[in-house]
């Protein structure tokens, strides 16, 4: 089949001391070296830094993207908050892409990683709207789902834990947002994530979330490593 366009959205923010710029560059560089997808990839960096700090925060990352993917949109939301930054980028991405890989600026792709099978799963099974790739935090129930050769997942059960939904890395379809709505704005990152957790647990028409079975369920077992834990954009850290 012809693979659909996937847009990678990376959210970032630097307070002016350069503390997050290295995370952003390391994250983008790791994607460049390890991400595999034979379809078209578009890239959005949505930066909530002030206008004064914006350019120096994204300049090197922008060049990496342009060199390797040739398509990079930079958005500066100038301290309107993480919810606004995500929503602005998501609405732009869904104009051309049915799927987005949404991630924060401190999740390094630590190994070769092919998106194709996960895109195929969402394409062929519309009952699922997200494949989650960050670590599994919290305590919850799941059921095993076999969706074909090399396509085995855990379906995360609603209501069995707070962090069934997570703001961590996830391949998301537009169906997810059609059902659950956009991210809340004008609140802290932690509050925004907790609100989405609660809404997902109560949502009946936004699809289910999958976790690739091959990664098990231990901390940082997935293909991404959090390199900024303890200094994250998100002030709520999932339970071990």
Sign of the Cα pseudo-torsion (63, 10, 210, 214, in order): positive
- pLDDT tens per residue, range 191-227: 999 999 999 999 999 999 999 999 876 666 789 998 9
On whether the CB atoms of residues 46 and 104 are closer than 8 A, the answer is no
Sign of the Cα pseudo-torsion (37, 227, 99, 198, in order): positive
Nearest CA-CA partner of 226 in 131, 141, 115, 137? 137
pLDDT at 233: 40
In 79-163, the DSSP E strands lie at: 99-104, 107-109, 113-114, 128-132, 142-146, 152-156
- pLDDT tens per residue, range 86-95: 999 999 999 9
In 116-235, the DSSP E strands lie at: 128-132, 142-146, 152-156, 170-173, 208-212, 224-226
| Segments in the chain below pLDDT 70 | 1, 217-220, 229-240
Q: Where are the domains of the chain?
A: 6-226
| Superfamily the domain 6-226 falls into | Spore Coat Polysaccharide Biosynthesis Protein SpsA; Chain A (3.90.550.10)
């Amino acid at each position: 089949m012809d693979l659909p366009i996937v847009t990678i959205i990376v959210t970032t923010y630097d307070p002016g001391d350069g503390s997050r710029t290295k995370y952003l560059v390391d994250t983008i560089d790791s994607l460049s070296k390890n991400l595999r997808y034979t379809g078209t990839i578009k890239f959005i960096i949505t930066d909530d830094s002030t206008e004064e700090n914006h350019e120096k925060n994204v300049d090197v990352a922008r060049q990496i993207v342009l060199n390797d993917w040739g398509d990079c949109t930079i958005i500066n939301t100038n301290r309107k908050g993480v919810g606004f930054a995500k929503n602005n980028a998501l609405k732009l991405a869904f104009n051309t892409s049915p799927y987005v890989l949404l991630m924060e600026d401190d999740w390094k792709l630590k190994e070769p990683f092919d998106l194709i099978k996960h895109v195929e799963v969402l394409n062929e099974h519309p009952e699922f709207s997200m494949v989650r790739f960050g670590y599994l935090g919290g305590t919850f129930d799941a059921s095993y789902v076999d969706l074909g050769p090399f396509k085995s997942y855990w379906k995360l059960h609603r209501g069995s834990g707070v962090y069934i939904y997570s703001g961590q890395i996830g391949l998301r379809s537009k169906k997810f947002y059609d059902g659950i709505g956009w991210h809340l704005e004008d609140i802290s990152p932690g509050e925004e994530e907790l609100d989405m957790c609660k809404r997902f647990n109560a949502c009946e028409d936004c699809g289910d979330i999958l976790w690739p079975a091959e990664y098990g369920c231990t901390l940082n077992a997935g293909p991404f490593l959090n390199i900024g834990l303890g200094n994250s954009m998100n002030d709520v850290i999932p339970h071990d």
